[in-house]
């Protein structure tokens, strides 16, 4: 009986010791929270990288595009603003001295030497040969830490939440998503009225054997690469940049396409490389052709429903003549330096 009591006493002592040990070594709840909550909610939120160029003479476009994106989302957007060495100080100063100073952005310098020997000179539309027009070919070299990236031309404004565009699903094996030029019946009348091409025939010269050897029907619907949702892993795996460069060099040698046809010299190689291997963007996320004619307009109701507007073509909303300029000017922020000015009838 005595031994049993001794055992029970020993167990009691051990229990008391264990309780005291836990009391002494217990981590206060406030410290636990601090240890777990290492990042603020904003830091834990996924970043949406948006790539946009800042070209000399049209930086107001870049500012308006960024302003529209930032104002219409609660998402954690990181802007990659790509420019040449000579233009970077201007766009940085513009942002830092305006209401855009709150945005998250990185300025990336593009070296035009990567294009040496890859661009065939064409005097009809020299603006399409500007180095920054080819930034979209080199996304993985410029933006390295992200799996998924949005690329936008500068002559756009966004009316929807950019998160929705970022959430575009890319099919397995697809390096990018674009909008088909035949995807929205509402735009077909516009295309016909101004004589635009929306097939491969408008971009590639089917008189050339190299183009015919591709086996792509000339009536295949084209796409517009002014809005891209890209998968960087697939892009690198498929060596998309190298493929694009190959067709650029072949065009220099054989004149396979040119900006005198339906589109610019940056579109044609993408049509070849991505043929049959891209996913679709919601058509309302790329309403285009607003810059194609100063005499042709969409209905106001249709434009209000659009998520993204694109003034592709010669007639830009910061110049005159142009159409639907009020929708663009809503997002424009004047240049603090006064260098960039809008061109208006009364200016």
**pLDDT average per 10 residues of sequence, the chain (347 residues):** 56 57 40 33 76 96 98 98 97 97 97 92 66 96 95 98 98 97 66 67 92 96 96 98 97 80 78 97 94 89 96 94 97 97 89
The encoded tokens of residue 151 equal: 């690329």
User: What's the pLDDT at 14?
Assistant: 60
Q: Write down the domain spans for the chain.
A: 48-185+223-249+274-330
**78, 82, 102, 103: which is closest to 91 by C-alpha?**
82
Which pLDDT score is estimated for 61?
A: 98
Q: What pLDDT was estimated at residue 125?
A: 60
Cβ neighbours, 10 Å, residue 78? 17
pTM for this predicted structure: 0.85
CATH number of 48-185+223-249+274-330: 3.90.550.10
Q: What is the pLDDT of residue 136?
A: 98
Q: Report the candidate in 64, 244, 262 with the shortest Cα–Cα distance to residue 154.
A: 64
The SS3 assignment for 80 reads: strand
- A 10 A CB-CB count for 295 gives 10
Rounded to whole angstroms, how far apart are CA atoms 226 and 32? 48
| CA distances from residue 104 to 41, 46, 60, 101, 206 in whole angstroms, order as listed | 16, 13, 18, 8, 45
Asked if 243 and 105 touch (Cβ cutoff 8 Å), the reply is no
Copy the structure tokens of residue 317: 């909303």
The pLDDT value given to residue 25:
45
pLDDT number for residue 17: 54
Report which of 73, 99, 100 is spatially closest to residue 81, judged by C-alpha positions. 100
CB 232 within 8 Å of CB 191: no
Read off the tokens for 316.
Answer: 């830009």
Predicted pLDDT of residue 168? 98
pLDDT on residue 257: 85
């Amino acid at each position: 009986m005595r031994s049993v009591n001794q055992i029970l006493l020993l167990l009691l002592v051990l229990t008391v010791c264990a309780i005291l040990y836990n009391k002494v070594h217990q981590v206060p709840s406030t410290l636990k929270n601090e240890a777990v909550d290492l990042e603020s909610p904003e830091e834990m939120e996924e970043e949406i990288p948006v790539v946009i160029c800042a070209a000399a003479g049209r930086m107001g476009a870049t500012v308006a595009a960024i302003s529209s994106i930032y104002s219409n989302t609660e998402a954690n957007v990181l802007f990659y603003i790509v420019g040449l060495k000579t233009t970077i100080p201007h766009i940085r100063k513009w942002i830092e001295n305006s209401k855009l100073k709150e945005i998250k952005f990185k300025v990336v310098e593009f070296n035009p030497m990567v294009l040496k020997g890859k661009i065939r000179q064409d005097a009809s539309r020299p603006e399409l040969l500007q180095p920054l027009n080819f930034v979209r070919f080199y996304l993985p070299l410029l933006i390295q830490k992200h799996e998924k990236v949005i690329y936008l031309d500068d002559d756009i404004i966004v009316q929807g939440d950019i998160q929705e565009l970022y959430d575009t699903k890319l099919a397995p094996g697809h390096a990018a998503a674009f909008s088909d030029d035949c995807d929205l019946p509402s735009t077909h009348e516009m295309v016909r009225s101004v004589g635009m091409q929306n097939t491969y025939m408008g971009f590639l010269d089917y008189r050339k054997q190299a183009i015919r050897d591709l086996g792509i029907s000339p009536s295949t619907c084209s796409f517009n690469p002014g809005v891209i949702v890209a998968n960087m892993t697939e892009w690198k795996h498929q060596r998309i940049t190298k493929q694009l460069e190959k067709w650029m060099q072949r065009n220099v040698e054989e004149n396979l396409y040119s900006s005198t046809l339906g589109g610019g010299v940056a579109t044609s190689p993408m049509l070849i490389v991505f043929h049959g291997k891209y996913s679709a963007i919601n058509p309302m996320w790329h309403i285009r052709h607003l810059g194609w004619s100063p005499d042709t307009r969409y209905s106001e109701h249709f434009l209000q429903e659009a998520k993204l507007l694109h003034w592709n073509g010669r007639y830009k909303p910061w110049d005159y003549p142009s159409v639907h300029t009020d929708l663009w000017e809503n997002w424009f922020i004047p240049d603090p330096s006064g260098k960039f000015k809008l061109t208006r009838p009364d200016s």
